[in-house]
Amino acid sequence: MTLGLNLIAYQGTLPAFASQPAAALPGHAVVGRVSLGRNAWLGAGAVIRADGHFVRIGDDLHMGRGATIHIAHEVYPTLVGARVSIGADAVVHACTVGNDVVVERGSVILDGAKVGDGAVVEAGSIVYPRSTLEPGMLYAGRPAKLLRALGLHEVQSRAELQRARNEACDVRWTCQPIPTGAAPDSFVAGTCDLSGSVHLAEGASVWFGCRLDGREGPISIGRLCNVQDNSVLRAGSLGMSLGDQTTVGHNVQLVDCSVGSRCLVGIGSSIAPGTRIDDDTFVAGGSVTEPGQHLTGGRVWGGDPARPIGEMNEAKRTAISNIAIVYESYARALHASVLG
């Protein structure tokens, strides 16, 4: 099933495809400086974004439902080899991935990591920043650790299985990007699905593929807060608030919780009902909270379940502030592209 391509220019540059994709399912989005090889398969809600840097991908990419490929602004591009299979809800972020790699469902590969040819990252694993994964090896865990060597036949079998799983996923994707209330300079990407009561303050942004459910209680997104691609937010009866200058990373799940100002909730994290995250809190990528957990401010939290692993410092505070500024600039550029 191949549909029309959803290609979006960034600062005047459109993505370049070597051939028509084998599939481009509803809700997908490809943005900016993307070079994509032949015969790509893009699942429903799949996102490839090259705004603050470039993305180069080889032939025969197979990308599952709600998966995300992105960059690190002016720091790391993303380079993906040929015949790479990426599962549903996985994130490949600002890293280098070799040929014939399999990234299974819900896994996250973080900034500066290098994944060798024929490596397999098992479902739900987190590859930490600047890690090196050796060719032809199986990795699993949070952080991902080497389990064993793989034969060529097993790598091929796991790739075929991952592709079959991608193709078996639901092809439907609702795009309803209309908030209840929004400041004039806020931004909601066109492949989002917002339901119920969702309000955006000045400079706030909600990115491609996000699903926000404010039917049971309102969702309030603060000034310069950004909710990144394919994240899912579901409010409870008391509502959900995200503070000013807070970043919710790609493919994060927030359920019936609250997040303060100047926080970062890292890529692939899962925040359980009743969780309270104080102002000035850094939640590392792939973290998982327990129901009702309180993450106190001024700390770095990580793990499953999340626990304090460090203290906030000036570098992390500056990084959080810079992300808010960068995402406001991304939103302005995309507004200009649409209007222009």
Q: What is the DSSP code (8-state) at residue 229?
A: T
pLDDT of residue 250: 98
Q: Which residue, chain included where needed, has tokens 């079998």? A: 157
In a domain, 2, yes or no: no
My answer on whether 218 and 143 are in the same domain is no
Looking at this protein, which amino acid is placed at residue 216? E
Rounded CA-CA distance 144/126 in Å is 5
Amino acid identity at 156: Q
CATH number at 308 reads 2.160.10.10
Same domain, 186 and 144: no
Q: Residue 283 belongs to what H/E stretch?
A: strand 282-283
Question: 279 and 217, same structural domain?
Answer: yes
Q: Which secondary structure element, helix H or strand E, spans residue 55, and what is its range?
A: strand 47-57
The answer to whether the beta carbons of residues 78 and 112 sit under 8 Å apart is: no
Residue 4, pLDDT score: 81
Flag whether 333 is in a domain.
yes
Question: Domain range holding 243?
Answer: 181-339
| Last residue of one domain, picked from the residues 168, 199, 219 | 168
Q: What is the DSSP letter of 10?
A: B
93 and 226 housed in the same domain: no
Closest CA to 62 of 42, 91, 76, 32: 42
In a domain, 1, yes or no: no
Residues 70 and 203 placed together within one structural domain of the fold: no
CB atoms within 10 A of CB 237: 7
* Boundary-marking domain end, from 168, 190, 218: 168
Q: Which of 103, 129, 131 is nearest to 285 (CA)?
A: 129
In-domain check, residue 126: yes
Are 105 and 85 in contact, with CB atoms under 8 Å apart?
no
Classify residue 247: in a domain, yes or no. Answer: yes
Among candidate residues 65, 72, 71, 70, the one with its CA nearest the CA of residue 86: 65
Q: What is the pLDDT of residue 337?
A: 66
**Cα–Cα distance measured from residue 107 to residue 219, given in angstroms and rounded to the nearest whole number:** 27
- Structural domains of the chain, count: 2
- 41 with 185, same domain: the answer is no
Last residue of a domain, one of 128, 145, 168: 168
Q: How does DSSP assign 115-129, residue by residue?
A: E-TT-EE-TT-EE-T
Q: What is the CA radius of gyration of the chain?
A: 19
* Same-domain pairing of 164 and 46: yes
* 3-class SS letters over 303-317: CCCCEEEEECCHHHH
Name the residue among 32, 35, 31, 29 with its Cα closest to residue 13: 32
- Please tell me the distance from the alpha carbon of residue 144 to that of residue 124, in angstroms, as a whole number: 9
Structure tokens at 336: 């200009």
- pLDDT < 50 stretches in the chain: 1-2, 339-340
pTM higher than 0.85, yes or no?
yes
The residue assigned the tokens 């209007």 is: 339
How far, in Å, CA of 233 to CA of 294, rounded? 18
The Cα–Cα gap between 48 and 71 comes to: 9
Q: What per-residue confidence (pLDDT) applies to 235?
A: 98
Q: How do residues 294-326 score in pLDDT, each as one tens digit?
A: 999 999 999 999 999 999 999 999 999 999 999
Whether residues 189 and 332 fall in one domain: yes
On whether both 28 and 104 belong to a single domain, the answer is yes
Residue 173 counted as domain residue:
no
Query: Looking at the domain assignment, is residue 329 inside a domain?
Result: yes
Together in a domain, 150 and 14: yes
> Can you name the residues that pair with 35 across neighbouring β-strands?
16, 56
Q: Do 295 and 248 lie in a common domain? A: yes
Whether the link from the prior residue into 129 is cis, omega within 30° of 0, is no
Around Cβ 338, how many Cβ atoms within 10 Å? 11
What pLDDT does residue 18 have? 97
User: Which residue shows structure tokens 């990234």?
Assistant: 103
Q: What is the residue whose two structure tokens read 């799949």?
A: 46
What per-residue string of b and e applies to 280-313 under the rule 16 or more CB within 10 Å gives b? bbbbbbbbbbeeebebeeebbbbeeebeeeeebe
Same structural domain for residues 194 and 118?
Answer: no
pLDDT of residue 335: 78
> 35 and 54 in contact (C-beta within 8 Å)?
yes
